Amino acid sequence: MAGQLRDIKRRVRAVRNTQQITKAMEMVAAAKLRRAQERVLAARPYARELEETLGRIAATGVDYGHPLAKAREEVERIGYVIITADRGLCGSYNANVIRKADAQLAEIADTDYEPELISVGRKGRDYFRHRDWDFLAEFTNLGEEIDYDAAKSVADLIVNFYTAGDLDEVYIVYTEFKSALSQYPRIVKLLPIGEPRDLEEGSGEEVDGTIEAAEGRDAEAGTSLSGELDYIYEPSVEAVLEKLLPTYVTNLVYHALLEAKASEHGARMTAMSAASDNAEEMIKDLTMEMNRARQAGITKEISEIVGGAEALKG
């Protein structure tokens, strides 16, 4: 009986120590999530204005002659940029992104398309490497706070692969941040640049239509895009696109990295909170088991004392 009590006490101490760790990790993740969420919200207005500018240019009927906007006549090699975390302990965050990418790769497995992978994060890289996938490029340890230079290094390499003809299309697989409790894996076409997306500020949701949506918003504001140019572009529309399209690609990558990082912190905070709650339940169950064992021991000792007394009387 004494050995059983010692074992239960040891288990209670171990679970309580683990609970202290999970609570600390939850608090750290919550602090990081606040900063990451602020960065996501701060980046959305610029992303929206950039896409609206492209929408206005597209609505004028200008020909997108830029290499990044020109679709290939034959698509053979498709690139997938898969963004995961460098670490675990974040619930199903990594598994959801990997499952999304796996489903897409399975969908084109029986076609003539040749998929090429670019990994951002250790977890996705390790998963696909164990399944004998090769990578065009790998990016790890980008840091807890994604900066624009890191996103530009990723985007520049993707652009180089595309312009060199190593890739005919590029898609980015990442997790869109909704809240600390909800994150959604998504696949977004990165190259070639077609109709620009439109991000609803504060929601992170993709608005349907892009060019039509831009026209509708500007019509409400009393601006028409259907006829003449609403803006004068200097030195020319083509020169503006020459600078704007690479910036647009970099901004898409940057925005996806920010969303992914905020989603990672939110998933980790939620996972650690659930782990702390589970540890509390385990401590309650073990304490009850320990009390029952102690009570059984006391009852046994009383019975032995009573039995001994009765024997002495006899």
Say if pTM beats, i.e. exceeds, 0.75: yes
Is 90 assigned a catalytic role? yes
Residue 208 — pLDDT band, cuts 50, 70, 90?
very low
pLDDT in tens, 258-303: 999 999 999 999 999 999 999 999 999 988 888 887 787 777 778 7
The per-residue pLDDT for range 73-131, each reduced to its tens digit, is 888 999 999 999 999 899 899 999 999 999 999 998 888 899 999 999 999 999 999 99
The dihedral formed by the CA atoms of 100, 103, 105 and 107, expressed in degrees to the nearest 10 = -140
Burial class (CB in 10 A: 0-12, 13-18, 19+), 185: buried
Q: Count the Cβ atoms, other than its own, within 10 Å of residue 298.
A: 11
Cβ neighbours around 231 below 10 Å, total: 11
More confident residue, 182 or 21: 21
Q: Domain locations in the chain?
A: 32-268
Q: What fold characterizes domain 32-268?
A: Pyruvate Kinase; Chain: A, domain 1 (3.40.1380)
**Active-site residue, from 33, 36, 81, 90:** 90
Element (H, E) at 291: helix 237-313
Higher pLDDT, 178 or 223: 178
Peptide bond into 246 cis (omega under 30): no
Omega of the bond prior to 196 within 30 degrees of 0, cis? no
